[in-house]
Amino acid sequence: MKRTLLLEGRTIPYELTQKPVKNINIRVHADGSVRVSAGPWVSPEAVDAVLRQRSAFLLRALDQFAAQAPLRPKPHTYGSGEMVYLLGKPYPLRLRPGPKVEVRQTPSHLLLTLPDPEDSQRRVRAMEAFLKQTCLTVTTQLCRQYHPQLAPFGVPMPEIRVRSMTSRWGSCSPTKGRVTFARQLVEAPFDCVAYVVCHELVHFVHPNHSKAFYACLAHIFPDWKAQRQRLNSYSYRQDPHP
């Protein structure tokens, strides 16, 4: 449900989702969008009242993201010479015409073949499909590597999915036996990817970020603090989590 609210002379649009949650949750995203979730028993007017109470937080967050906008990387167009990162290593992209759409990784560059290299939309589709599949391959490999350490806790080998995400590196759905990783994660160094995989797998045992969660994480991935700090230093991501 799309709604608007007037706060200190500013019109703030937001999207309200009503679902069985205990609290009214307010999320401000890097693109300036505002999303709110509340229980179906909470009226939209009551949500508006809470947003007015939290107006200082809401407007401050919107102003901070607006100030950061010029610093954010521009979306990939995957033109000739553009740098693409795979597991922390930069690869310049080369284009060539050919009858079949194909991405080939060499030790020094990525080669994108497609019928019309000037077709930017098709370039983006081809490269994003390649990066998504590469991310799926790497995270699946790492899940298989670390899963045996958690199997004694009753953790199943999860279903693994990959999609583009702008505010987190991964998410876990224990009840569905599923983990989802950000496509963007494939750009980070391998050890950083391993940290995120272990982080999400441990959520099958500890669904929150309690002391027990971090103790379990440290047991299977002792270097987690250093890799989290390394991962969060990447400038192409905004508001990374975990």
| pLDDT per position as a tens digit, 180-225 | 999 999 999 999 999 999 999 999 999 888 999 999 999 999 999 9
Going along the chain, which residue ranges are E strands? 2-7, 10-18, 25-28, 34-38, 83-86, 89-97, 102-105, 110-114, 159-163, 170-173, 178-182
Query: Under 8 Å CB-to-CB from 225, ≥6 apart: which residues?
Result: none
**In the block, residue with structure tokens 């980070």:** 188
User: What does DSSP assign to residue 41?
Assistant: T
* Tokens representing residue 230 in the block: 């390394």
Q: How far apart are CA 128 and CA 137, in angstroms?
A: 14
pLDDT of residue 236 exceeding 70, the answer is no
Give tens-digit pLDDT for 44-84: 999 999 999 999 989 998 998 888 666 555 678 999 999 99
Q: Supply the pTM of this predicted model.
A: 0.71
